Amino acid sequence: MSTLVFLEHHEGELQKDSLGVLAKAAQLGGDVSALIAGSGVEGLAAQAGRFGAAKVYVADDPALEAPLPQPRVDVAADLVRRHGFETVLFGATVLTADVAAGLAARLDAGLNWDLVDLAQEDGKLVGKRPALDDTVYVDVGWKGEPRLALIRTGTFEPVESPAEPEVERVDVQLEDFSTLAKMIEQAHEESEGPSIEDADVIVAGGRGLGGPDNFALVEELAKALGGAVAATRAVVDAGWYPYSTQVGQTGKTVAPRLYIAVGISGAIQHKVGMQGSNVIVAINKDPNAPIFEYADLGVVGDLHEIIPKLTELVRQRKAA
Amino acid sequence: MKIAVCAKAVPEQARRIDPETKRLDRSGEQTLNPFDANAVEEGLRLKGDAADAEVVLFSLGPERSLDALRKALAMGADRVVLVTDEAAAGSDLVASSYALARVLEREQAELVLFGQQANDSDGAVMWAAVADRLRRPLISQVAELTVSDGAVRGKRQTEFGYDVIEAPLPAVVAVSDAINEPRYPSLKGIMGAKKKPQETVSLSDLGVEGERAGESGSRTEVYALGEPPPRGETQRVEDDGSGAEKIVEFLLERKAL
Amino acid sequence: MKPSDFPPPFDVSEAVARPTDPEDERIEVGVAIVGAGPAGLACAIRLGQLLEEAPAIAERLGDVPVAVIEKGKQPGSHLLSGAVVNPRALQRLFAGRKRLDELPFYGVVEQESVYFLTRNRAARIPTPPTMKNHGNRVASLSELGRWLAAQAEEAGAMILPETAATKLLVEHGRVRGIRTGDKGRGRDGEELPNFEPGSDVLARVTVLAEGTQGHLTGAAIETFGLAGENPQVWALGVKEVWRVARPLRRVIHTMGWPLRAGAKYREFGGSFIYPMGDELLTLGMVVGLDYRDVELSVHDLLQELKTHPLVRKLLDGGERIAWGAKTIPEGGFLSLPKRLHAPGLLLAGDGPGFVNVPALKGIHYAIETGALAAEAAFAVLQRGEAVGRRGALASYDEAVKQSFVWRDLEQVRNMRQAFGRGFWLGGALAGAMTASHGKFPPGDARTEPDAEQELIRTGRARRYPAPDGKLTFDKLSSVFLSGNKTRDDAPNHLRVQTRVAPELAELWARMCPAQVYEPQDGRVEVTASNCVQCGAITAKGGRLTPPEGGSGPEYTLT
Ligand SMILES: Cc1cc2nc3c(=O)[nH]c(=O)nc-3n(C[C@H](O)[C@H](O)[C@H](O)COP(=O)(O)OP(=O)(O)OC[C@H]3O[C@@H](n4cnc5c(N)ncnc54)[C@H](O)[C@@H]3O)c2cc1C
Ligand SMILES: Cc1cc2nc3c(=O)[nH]c(=O)nc-3n(C[C@H](O)[C@H](O)[C@H](O)COP(=O)(O)OP(=O)(O)OC[C@H]3O[C@@H](n4cnc5c(N)ncnc54)[C@H](O)[C@@H]3O)c2cc1C
Ligand SMILES: Cc1cc2nc3c(=O)[nH]c(=O)nc-3n(C[C@H](O)[C@H](O)[C@H](O)COP(=O)(O)OP(=O)(O)OC[C@H]3O[C@@H](n4cnc5c(N)ncnc54)[C@H](O)[C@@H]3O)c2cc1C
Ligand code: SF4
């Protein structure tokens, strides 16, 4: 099997999710190559080698400076056509989703999205994915090649396997329509922390906090963890926290790697907004709170005791 | 200006995948994909009072979709073109984007708008495939949109912050749900919706070959359906003063710290 | 302390207005029907049939001869019933057009049992005559409503879902139509960016078919002085639909446990368990809202009922797939308005109270009165008579009085006991008395409004089972199953005083099946977006007003 992994980068760093997908590709076996497209990105090739790419194609061109999808579709399509990759994998982001779908159209190739695993079964590549708000799990496949896949954010961890990759520069030839969209302003983070949809870690506060002032407790913990703060409808209704942070049926749906629920009963309307989280930790003084039915770790106790201590411990670990 | 809005009817509730066909069960009540209401709203806003502007809805789906799509007409869209064909059932991205591109080519809209995602399949990718097939520039995830001097300018949010992207018309733009608050249809609008033009076209009307549509035109397939893996047992601890330590231990064990 | 000590901050004048939209913005229709329930839809279908044969009249009525205004997201979204349906009125409505087996029924009732329950036992008692259902059909009213709506559309009616009628338009002593509710207001009533004002809908004839607790019906009864001899009283029904492992093949009614026999409690009601084909069944608990215990919760009583061996066995291995709640008018014949019409206005269905209480039946009366209302409206339009003339629509009252509806209700009127006690105790008086050795029925007949009952506290809540998420459920997960996804910042449509006696705060908190009320430091916190619009609050000291169209539950199977 020959696999091409599209590597996304930002400010001179390859993105962790892309590297995680690379590690998965290496684990699946066969020839694993990577594609880095950008301007002044040659230096990133070595990084890719360290995470499992035997070969790295580098498309380095000023026209690829801005993170826009269409020129990247041209580059990837060209590469796939020339080398006949059987599989092309993407770690899902705003940019790569557009690249993958554009490529699917260009090559009339099947694209499966939202995969949380890939496996060889009876000689076939099978994608595993949750669907319909994670209520069902589906095994999906491809008719013919190349097989394109978008892997859900945060699914695979990068694995270091030091190697010198073979690096090949590829020619960049772009379609006329691909360069029509122009980046006018590429801004960086405007807010202080990640928004709850993008956050890797969410600390959510509920009515158990007792009052708006106590949100400082969850804010401190979120800061220590580098995460964002979310809230339940009960506290948003009470005016303790803004609606933009509400998670649940009538708020946002989130699926961070870690969700810490503080003083939240865990009503189903809240659950449907966060059950896709990878690890759920709940702190609640009521041993019968519904949140304990779906948390991975449930601590029965007073949040006022536990949270400050936890924040301190996390700070210490991060400092160390 | 002609503004095309691609929109889809999705199941109202009780969403399930039919274990036989392995397709989404579309037998229940259908509704306009809520994210498409943002695209319709944006189209109507751009159209404004311009008498020569038109907002046209394009959809690929079963005939019954019309009932749901009428909501967009009630909001103020001018007409609907529905591509409907038995042979299109089970279309994946490759097949759907092909049929959509063909019907859009027929109409030559200056601006093609999409919603943020279809809330049944959650791909959030259709626009990129359609833009490629139409060979037009694309801006996706747009939270602010302006059109002037034959160009669109969109502000969008990515994982890294806000970008501003500009493209000449004709162009494809996918809006995010942050872009606006869709209007409620007025009662007059609802009552008038039924009388607005609602055209259905078949694949052969568009010259879409059978092998490019439905399951034969699709390049993905579903092998098996299953239950989500159990979350695993909840590990439960009573806080005896060491609750915080226990959490840290757990997080380290799960590599979540 | 009684709920009526804290009357709701609501005045009926709020629900009555003159047309205010400028002439050219008014929406003109022929007949405006409020409510897409069995009454309203039967009215629309019958009008369609009559107009089909009289195209000249249809022409005169304009672009929209018949409009049905429905607040639910879809027709059927706000319909909930048992339901065992007597097909009589449907047969008449569809005579020569549809056969009964073309209607969405789950089957014919062939067997039935009535039980008197104690905590662990079930004593079978003979089926009292009013509870006999042989030959009737089982249906989900929500499904039947969707089907009827499709028929009404086919017959030419325009159905306008997601639209609440919030005001009755009255001018010069006659009803001119209705005003629909605004959309896009914030929690404090402020206009949001997508605010869309309501419209005046003017009609030659307005038919109110709002069902139980009709908001405009109440306003009309007051405005036109139509109130009957007795005040209206209600019962609250909470029901669930289950997918079951083994088919149930009979209709079951129970009485007794978990309700208590003591006269002071005034706990009148019982349960129904109906098969819905081989795979589904529905079960519900109905309790008269003249109960007194502040801790009584019909939702929790239904949960308790399911722990009874008789019921648990039926549900074993099954899964709950739907839930909902609604009130039933129980005043019967003596609570009917003294007239069913006013100038330009007709009342049909549950709104005026056409329910046969000892038989727990209202659907066929709703359909029949709806169809008769259509005929009366058509007759006036055909004669080209001034609809607003006093008595122009009186032929409706005559027709209802000639119909089986009147005969049925009048017949049971003399069972005064029956009216006092509702379906179970009224209908099954004899059986209950035998089985309970005379403890049932407790108390006297009901002639006082539900909100006039003195409240008591007896520690009832201790017995409610803790929700286990499999057999027994809490209110919030139930509301979720109702499909309610009302936006959080919708304005509050519930009129209650928020500083009330603690007993009343607790009564509301327990009574409300949707967990809307929460006592908090001497106040009542109201989370209006949870509301499933069952109407119980109107019976017990508050007032449910029509919320923003399209909000509330989205029932499909109830
Ligand atoms: C149509 C609809 C839509 C809804 N949408 C949403 C939504 O989008 N998001 C949402 O969150 N909810 C939503 N809800 C509301 C939801 O049902 C719950 O009411 C809400 O989530 C409860 O919030 P909570 O957990 O903060 O409060 P509560 O349920 O009051 O829970 C507070 C918890 O804190 C615990 N606690 C108290 N003190 C302490 C302490 N000192 N230490 C530790 N624990 C303590 C208590 O034991 C309790 O479990 C919706 C409801 C409906 C009907
Ligand atoms: C649970 C589920 C999972 C699926 N997974 C895949 C998969 O991994 N790969 C695959 O190829 N197919 C998949 N499909 C099939 C997919 O539904 C079709 O490709 C569909 O036509 C497009 O859905 P989308 O998710 O790409 O739409 P999105 O990309 O989420 O839709 C974005 C916007 O495109 C527009 N749009 C989408 N569909 C239409 C349409 N039919 N008509 C008009 N406008 C439209 C709307 O404006 C919408 O807001 C899946 C379907 C289901 C039900
Ligand atoms: C638990 C329970 C069990 C029952 N069991 C049976 C049974 O087995 N057999 C039987 O025959 N009967 C039964 N009934 C009674 C039966 O359901 C009613 O008699 C019947 O539904 C009445 O029909 P209707 O059309 O008058 O009102 P509804 O069915 O209540 O319909 C009224 C409609 O009007 C709409 N509406 C109301 N106000 C407005 C407004 N202002 N603006 C817009 N729309 C509005 C509502 O949303 C609703 O859709 C039962 C009732 C309950 C609650
Ligand atoms: S608030 Fe709504 S659901 Fe609760 S009792 Fe009142 S009407 Fe019923």
Instruction: Give nearest CA residue, ligand 3 atom 20.
Output: C363
Q: Do A300 and B160 touch (CB under 8 A)?
A: no
**Alpha carbons within 13 A on the beta-carbon side of C301:** 32
Instruction: Give nearest CA residue, ligand 4 atom 8.
Output: C534
Confidence of residue C224 (pLDDT cuts 50, 70, 90): very high
Structural domain of B33: 2-212
Tokens 């189209």, located at residue: B43
Comparing CA positions, the residue from B115, B109, B105, B175 lying closest to residue B139 is B175
β-partners of residue B30 are B11
Task: Say which ligand is closest to the CA of C538.
Answer: 4
Q: With beta carbons less than 8 A apart as the criterion, state whether C534 and C470 touch.
A: no
Confidence of residue C444 (pLDDT cuts 50, 70, 90): very low
Q: Looking at residues C234-260, what average pLDDT do you find?
A: 95
Q: Is the CB of C476 under 6 A from ligand 1?
A: yes
> CB of C150 within 8 Å of any CB in chain B?
no
Confidence of residue C423 (pLDDT cuts 50, 70, 90): low
C474, C485, C489: residue with CB nearest A249: C485
Domain count, chain B: 1
CATH number at residue B53: 3.40.50.620
Q: Above 60 in pLDDT, residue C456?
A: yes
Q: With beta carbons less than 8 A apart as the criterion, state whether B60 and B96 touch.
A: yes
Q: Do A296 and B127 touch (CB under 8 A)?
A: no
Q: Looking at residues C99-113, what average pLDDT do you find?
A: 95
Greater confidence (A199 vs C313) lies with C313
Confidence of residue C419 (pLDDT cuts 50, 70, 90): very low
Task: Say which ligand is closest to the CA of C240.
Answer: 3
pLDDT tens digits, C202-218:
999 999 999 999 999 99
Ligand 1 mean position, distance from CA A302 (Å): 16
Confidence of residue A134 (pLDDT cuts 50, 70, 90): confident
Token pair recorded at residue C446: 């009901």
In a domain, B103, yes or no: yes
Specify the pLDDT at position B14.
58
Q: Above 90 in pLDDT, residue B181?
A: yes
Name the strands in the sheet holding C107-108, side by side, starting at the edge strand that comes first in the sequence.
C84-85, C137-138, C107-108
B166, B223, B232: residue with CB nearest A140: B223
Task: For residues B211 and C330, give the distance between their C-alpha atoms in angstroms, rounded to a whole number.
Answer: 63
Q: Looking at residues A69-75, what average pLDDT do you find?
A: 98
pLDDT tens digits, B57-98:
999 999 999 999 999 999 999 999 999 999 999 999 999 999
B–C interface: beta-carbon pairs under 8 A? 42
C466, C476, C485: residue with CB nearest A250: C485
Specify the pLDDT at position A46.
87
Comparing CA positions, the residue from C316, C301, C360, C329 lying closest to residue C112 is C360
Q: Looking at residues C432-450, what average pLDDT do you find?
A: 53
Residues of chain A in contact with residue B160, where contact means CB-CB under 8 angstroms, are 10, 188-189
pLDDT tens digits, C373-406:
999 999 999 988 787 788 899 999 999 999 999 9
Q: Above 90 in pLDDT, residue C332?
A: no
Q: Above 60 in pLDDT, residue C429?
A: no
Q: Above 90 in pLDDT, residue C436?
A: no
CATH class of C28-98+142-180+196-228+336-402: alpha beta
Q: Looking at residues B218-238, what average pLDDT do you find?
A: 89
Secondary structure of residue A148 in the 3-state scheme:
strand
Ligand 2 mean position, distance from CA C452 (Å): 57
Q: Do C488 and A243 touch (CB under 8 A)?
A: yes
pLDDT tens digits, B148-178:
999 999 999 888 888 999 999 999 999 999 9
Ligand 4 mean position, distance from CA C36 (Å): 20
Q: With beta carbons less than 8 A apart as the criterion, state whether C351 and C208 touch.
A: yes
Instruction: Tell whether domain A2-179 is in CATH 3.40.50.620.
Output: yes
Task: For residues C185 and B64, give the distance between their C-alpha atoms in angstroms, rounded to a whole number.
Answer: 32
Task: For residues C262 and C438, give the distance between their C-alpha atoms in angstroms, rounded to a whole number.
Answer: 11
One-letter amino acid identity for A17?
Answer: D
Task: For residues C200 and C189, give the distance between their C-alpha atoms in angstroms, rounded to a whole number.
Answer: 20
In a domain, B225, yes or no: no
Instruction: State the pairing for strand pair A201-205/A258-262.
Output: parallel
Q: Is the CB of C507 under 6 A from ligand 3?
A: no
Ligand 4 mean position, distance from CA C299 (Å): 12
| Mean confidence (pLDDT) of chain C | 92
Token pair recorded at residue C512: 């409300």
In a domain, B128, yes or no: yes
Which positions 235-294 of A are in contact with B (Cβ < 8 Å)?
257-258, 278-281, 283, 287, 292-294
Q: With beta carbons less than 8 A apart as the criterion, state whether A297 and B235 touch.
A: yes
Ligand 3 mean position, distance from CA C37 (Å): 6
Task: For residues A51 and A33, give the distance between their C-alpha atoms in angstroms, rounded to a whole number.
Answer: 11
A–B interface: beta-carbon pairs under 8 A? 259
pLDDT tens digits, A204-216:
999 999 999 999 9
Q: With beta carbons less than 8 A apart as the criterion, state whether A244 and A198 touch.
A: no
Please name the fold of domain A201-319. Answer: Rossmann fold (3.40.50)
Distances (CA, A) of B204 to B198, B201, C241: 18, 8, 45
Beta-carbon count within 10 A of C148 CB: 28
Q: To 10 degrees, the CA torsion angle through A257, A262, A265, A266? A: -10
Token pair recorded at residue B94: 């490759």
Q: Do A249 and C480 touch (CB under 8 A)?
A: yes
pLDDT tens digits, A177-195:
999 999 999 876 555 567 7
Task: For residues C304 and C307, give the distance between their C-alpha atoms in angstroms, rounded to a whole number.
Answer: 5
What residues are in contact with ligand 2 under a 6 Å CB criterion?
Answer: A 111-113, 131-132; B 6-8, 24, 33, 35-36, 39, 58-61, 91-93, 96, 100, 114-115, 117-118, 120-126, 220
The Cα of A168 is separated from the nearest Cα of chain B by a number of Å equal to 27
Tokens 């606006």, located at residue: B180
The Cα of B12 is separated from the nearest Cα of chain C by a number of Å equal to 10
Q: With beta carbons less than 8 A apart as the criterion, state whether B55 and B76 touch.
A: yes
Please name the fold of domain C105-138+232-332+453-544. Answer: D-Amino Acid Oxidase; Chain A, domain 2 (3.30.9)
Q: Above 80 in pLDDT, residue C454?
A: yes
Q: Above 70 in pLDDT, residue B119?
A: yes
Instruction: Give nearest CA residue, ligand 3 atom 15.
Output: C362
Token pair recorded at residue C43: 């009215």
Task: For residues A256 and A155, give the distance between their C-alpha atoms in angstroms, rounded to a whole number.
Answer: 11
Specify the pLDDT at position C434.
41
Q: Do B128 and A105 touch (CB under 8 A)?
A: yes
Q: Do A300 and B223 touch (CB under 8 A)?
A: no
Residues 6+ apart with CB under 8 A from B12: B28, B29, B30, B31, C73, C74, C554
Q: Looking at the predicted complex, does its ipTM rise above 0.95?
A: no
Query: Where along chain C do its domains lie?
Result: 28-98+142-180+196-228+336-402, 105-138+232-332+453-544
Burial (CB count within 10 angstroms: exposed 0-12, middle 13-18, buried 19+), residue C22: exposed
Q: Above 80 in pLDDT, residue B51?
A: yes
Ligand 1 mean position, distance from CA C524 (Å): 17
Query: Where along chain A do its domains lie?
Result: 2-179, 201-319
Task: For residues B112 and B133, give the distance between their C-alpha atoms in angstroms, rounded to a whole number.
Answer: 13
pLDDT tens digits, C151-182:
999 999 999 999 999 999 999 999 999 999 99
Q: Is the CB of C484 under 6 A from ligand 1?
A: yes
Specify the pLDDT at position A82.
96
Ligand 1 mean position, distance from CA A261 (Å): 10
Token pair recorded at residue C433: 């008395």
Chain B residue whose CA is closest to C181? B187
Secondary structure of residue B47 in the 3-state scheme:
helix
Task: For residues C429 and C437, give the distance between their C-alpha atoms in angstroms, rounded to a whole number.
Answer: 12
Buried b (16+ CB within 10 A) or exposed e, B84-122: bbebbebbbbbbbbbbbbbbbeeeebebbbbbbbbbbbe
Chain C residue whose CA is closest to B68? C74
Which positions 149-188 of A are in contact with B (Cβ < 8 Å)?
150, 157, 175, 177-178, 180-188
Ligand 4 mean position, distance from CA B46 (Å): 42
Q: Do A237 and C488 touch (CB under 8 A)?
A: yes
| Mean confidence (pLDDT) of chain B | 93
Greater confidence (C443 vs B146) lies with B146
The DSSP line for C402-444 is: HSHHHHHHHHHHT-HHHHHHHHHHHHTHHHHHHHTTT-PSPS-
Q: Do A258 and B251 touch (CB under 8 A)?
A: yes
Confidence of residue C425 (pLDDT cuts 50, 70, 90): low
Counted residue by residue, chain A has a size of 320
Q: To 10 degrees, the CA torsion angle through C470, C474, C478, C479? A: -160
In a domain, B105, yes or no: yes
Comparing CA positions, the residue from B34, B51, B53 lying closest to residue B43 is B53
> CB of A97 within 8 Å of any CB in chain B?
yes
Buried b (16+ CB within 10 A) or exposed e, A62-77: ebbebbbbbbbbbbbb
Question: Can you list the positions of beta strands (E) in chain B?
Answer: 2-6, 9-11, 30-32, 54-60, 79-83, 111-114, 138-148, 151-158, 161-168, 171-175, 198-201, 220-226, 235-238
Instruction: State the pairing for strand pair A297-300/A279-284.
Output: parallel
Task: For residues C145 and C136, give the distance between their C-alpha atoms in angstroms, rounded to a whole number.
Answer: 17
Q: Looking at residues C20-24, what average pLDDT do you find?
A: 92
Q: Above 50 in pLDDT, residue C284?
A: yes
Residues of chain A in contact with residue B231, where contact means CB-CB under 8 angstroms, are 280, 294, 296
Chain B residue whose CA is closest to A198? B159
Alpha-carbon dihedral sign for residues C340, C344, C349, C353: negative
The CB-based long-range contact list for A118-127 (8 Å cut-off, 24+ gap) reads A118/A24, A118/A28, A118/A89, A118/A149, A118/A151, A119/A28, A120/A28, A120/A29, A125/A1, A125/A28, A125/A87, A126/B223
Alpha carbon of residue A212 to chain centroid: 31
- What stretch of H or E contains A258? strand A258-262
pLDDT tens digits, A90-106:
999 999 999 999 999 99
C27, C67, C183: residue with CB nearest B188: C27
Chain A residue whose CA is closest to B138? A181
Q: What are phi and psi of A206, to 5 degrees?
A: -125, -170
